[in-house]
Amino acid sequence: MWRAELAHLFRRRRVHALLVVLALVPIGIAVAVRLSGHAGHGDGPQFLNQVTNNGVFAAMVALTVTLPVFLPLAIAVVAGDAIAGEASLGTLRYLLVAPVGRGRLLAAKAVTVIAFCLVATLTVTVAGLAIGAILFPIGRVTTLSGTTLPLSAGMVRIAAAAGVVSLSLLGLAAISFFISTLTDVAVGAMAATLGVLVLSGLLDSVPQLGAIHPWLFTHHWLTFGDLLRSPVSWTGIRANLFLQAGYVLVFGSAAWARFTRRDVLA
């Protein structure tokens, strides 16, 4: 079942289109910087002003740009469609007719969502590294602390940043997955997920609500940049990962409780 669900997900044209769009984002940014001849002077996304000196930073810029909108949008589409999509197509009932427990089916769907989080983030990272290496020189990596790292060590840091971003998306994925168990309309689940994303971002931008900011799943998203400090600052990263784990536990449990008791009519 696990392999079948993964194969089914990554054969879908919708998923192919999402991955292509994600790959085009770093390519578009790098080409724009190359054509303009400069990356600005501190304006724009974090790491942008370092791209012209070292192409590997194109991957970090890509993660910074795609994390607030593009990656969450892709996650909302896939996770929101996980259960609701099957119900809307009328295939969920037939999946459960087979000798497969609801818990096992839910776990298989959850694995495909987690896999997509990883693949989507890797797509952005690899596309950024590739276009950065093509358009700009590459070499020793200058950290945010001003020290330099060998290229190999810098690549390890960037790979770790991609891993942190993948894990950062799991909280949103769990929320979307839970919403998907509540409805038979996949588009509704996707829209509701995006609504939750926008709400979290708005609440995080209001200074008067500072007391709840550490509990918002979007609050620590950009802490992956701390991996490019010397030494690495782990405080924000740990807070982010613990928070995402909490969201996964709460909304994953809620999804299981809902799905195992749901009347499946479609």
The predicted-structure confidence for 24-70, as pLDDT tens digits, reads as follows: 999 999 999 888 866 555 555 778 888 888 999 999 999 999 999 99
- Give how far the C-alpha of residue 11 lies from the chain's centroid of Cα atoms, to the nearest Å: 20
Nearest to 15 by CA among 163, 117, 125, 131: 117
| Confidence (pLDDT) at 25 | 94
Q: From the centroid of its chain, how far is CA 113?
A: 10
User: Which of 115, 79, 119, 94 lies closest to 255 in space, CA to CA?
Assistant: 79
State both tokens at 20: 């292509």
What are 159-191's pLDDT values in tens digits?
999 999 999 999 999 999 999 998 888 899 999
- Residue 47 token pair: 């790491």
Sign of the dihedral through C-alpha 86, 111, 155, 39: positive
| pTM for the full predicted model | 0.90
CA distance 147 to 115: 34
How does 208-217 read in b/e, with b if 16+ C-beta sit within 10 Å?
eeeeebeebb
Residue 116 has pLDDT above 90, yes or no: yes
Lookup result for tokens 């497969």: 100
133's enclosing H/E stretch is: helix 102-135
Burial-class residue 74 by CB neighbours within 10 Å (0-12, 13-18, 19+). buried
